[in-house]
Amino acid sequence: MKRFLLALAASALTLSAAAQTSLQQAVASMSSKSALKGAVIGISVKDSDGRELASLNPRTRLAPASNLKLVTTGAALHAFGPDYRFKTALAYSGEVKEGTLEGDLYIIGGGDPTLAAKDTNALNANALFWKWKSLLKSAGIQRINGRIIGDGSAFEGHLEHASWNYDDVGTYYGAGTNALSFYENAIDYKVSASAEGKTVNLTQAYPDTPWLHFQNYGVTGPAGTGNSLYMYTTDLAPYAELRGSFATDRRPKTEHFANKYGDLTCAYYFWRNLKETGWEVTGGYARINRSGLIEGADFVPAQKSASERVSIGFTESPTLRQMAARTNFDSNNFYAEAFFRAMGESASGNACYDSCLVAINEVLSDLNLPADGILQADGSGLSRKNVLSADWMTSYLTAMLKSPAFPAFLASLPAPGQGTLSVLKIEGGERLRIKSGSMEGVLCYSGYVLDENGRPVRSFSILTNSLSSSSAQARSAVATLLTQLLNM
């Protein structure tokens, strides 16, 4: 790490006065593009020592959208270390007699967002369950005279931040997380158009959620009207509605919606796997609710969770460096929120959103960063209450250069053409590492410019809010400035 920092210091390039003038002119030129007319823009460019090279409204606080994941992933890597792994434990109540567990089996979540996830670094459901069954066999358990209970209670508080938009909460990217999840708390549905004015064709693909009362109010719309299907759901009750329309000229597709009962889904699928592979399980499946009570698929609280449990063992997630890369390459909200909640739980023993902010502020203080340039609400950037300035972001990126976790942080960022940057085409873009951020009216890009040896020489943050043009038009204007940054 010491040699890395020395090499980084040696690579710091100070732009000439003429080059800085040219860069400032490029900033002004970008802001005058017709695609950005009426937008609120904040720009900051700094060298690796934190000296400002060019700027525009650098201290204006704007919505960063998924640019906030830079803060969450960097803070998590700094706090936990790149090789940190989440643990999921198995334990039981009762006792084991002649190979039979006379009691309940608990799956105790530790915040791992990768359980049965669509992630090449993670175990699929069958491989995960094989490991869990191996733990049972090692404990001398061959049969279970009891239930399979999912316990995600280690993360207190609501699954989602209260400021998330209502229509986002039912989507896969607004699923929210507790300490025990399954398949990134998503449900896949196959959707296709029927006759105009008729109910859309809808089939649940994976996972099954037999407890969910689902109403399909989606309508097939006229050609050219697009896709406005949203699921509306909550963890307050096992009920969901599909609303909106799906045009007759749209091709069949798979929609990804939110599953608010990841803990119950995990217990259900392990229970089902046990029975399908020849294990005798006399009880059903259940979860621990917010009151600490066991409730099954009927959602009738039955009894308190066992206070005394016998530990069997645990499985581990991929490393945090692997998960951070997935988070930033794919802009994965679910992973980012899991990191955010885990930091709160680790720092204070409480994963409510307010406690998570305390944990983030501890990391920022350790990096010697002021807190007055950022107001953070969640970990993913989905909340419109998140605001930060371009100047603060480049200060943060500069501070991260000195973190022991910086190599892993830098490796987590895609270059143009990769991940969510697949639509960003820049010649020589392999020398850029960028996190994008977008939502309606918002387009942001922040990251690093690398030298020929792959060392960061400049940090930048380009935040645009209140856009009235298309994302493609705004992206083209930003790409011109990024090209200028490369050629300085």
The string of DSSP codes covering 303-339 is EEPPS--EEEEEEEPPPHHHHHHHHHHHT-HHHHHHH
Q: Please check whether residue 23 lies inside any domain of the structure.
A: yes
Relative to beta strand 95-97, strand 87-92 is unpaired
Q: Please check whether residue 142 lies inside any domain of the structure.
A: yes
Q: Rounded CA gap, 381 and 487, in Å? A: 31
The count of structural domains within the chain is: 3
> Is the same domain home to 183 and 239?
yes
The continuous run of DSSP H or E covering 88 comes out as: strand 87-92
Two structure tokens written together for 136: 């049972």
Please give the residue range of the domain that contains residue 242. 166-258
> Is the same domain home to 435 and 481?
yes
Q: Rounded CA gap, 233 and 239, in Å? A: 6
Q: Please check whether residue 420 lies inside any domain of the structure.
A: yes
> Is the same domain home to 152 and 48?
no
Q: Which of 210, 351, 369 is nearest to 284 (CA)?
A: 210
* pLDDT score recorded for residue 12: 42
User: Which of 258, 276, 296 finishes a domain?
Assistant: 258
Please give the DSSP secondary-structure letter assigned to residue 392: H
Residue 371 phi, psi (nearest 5): -95, 0
Q: Strand order of the sheet with strand 293-296?
A: 301-304, 293-296, 285-288, 148-151, 105-108, 87-92, 310-316
* pLDDT score recorded for residue 22: 87
* pLDDT score recorded for residue 324: 98
pTM value is 0.94
User: Which of 223, 258, 293 finishes a domain?
Assistant: 258
422 Cβ contact partners less than 8 Å away, ≥ 6 residues apart: none
* pLDDT score recorded for residue 307: 84
> Is the same domain home to 311 and 415?
no
> Is the same domain home to 327 and 458?
yes
> Is the same domain home to 241 and 202?
yes
User: Which of 243, 258, 273 finishes a domain?
Assistant: 258
> Is the same domain home to 10 and 149?
no
* Three-state secondary-structure class, residue 248: coil
pLDDT digits (tens, 9 = 90+) for 34-58: 999 999 999 999 999 999 999 999 9
Please give the DSSP secondary-structure letter assigned to residue 418: S
Neighbours of 254 (CB within 10 A): 11
> Is the same domain home to 107 and 187?
no
CATH code: domain of residue 307: 3.50.80.20
> Is the same domain home to 325 and 473?
yes
Q: Rounded CA gap, 294 and 462, in Å? A: 49
182 Cβ contact partners less than 8 Å away, ≥ 6 residues apart: 115, 116, 125, 207, 259, 262, 263, 265, 266, 269
> Is the same domain home to 333 and 382?
yes
Residue ranges for the chain with pLDDT beneath 50: 4-13
> Is the same domain home to 28 and 60?
yes
Q: Please check whether residue 253 lies inside any domain of the structure.
A: yes
> Is the same domain home to 350 and 461?
yes
CATH code: domain of residue 7: 3.40.710.10
* pLDDT score recorded for residue 14: 60
Q: Which of 281, 279, 309 is nearest to 92 (CA)?
A: 309
Q: Rounded CA gap, 459 and 48, in Å? A: 7
Q: Please check whether residue 161 lies inside any domain of the structure.
A: no
Neighbours of 300 (CB within 10 A): 8
Q: Please check whether residue 461 lies inside any domain of the structure.
A: yes
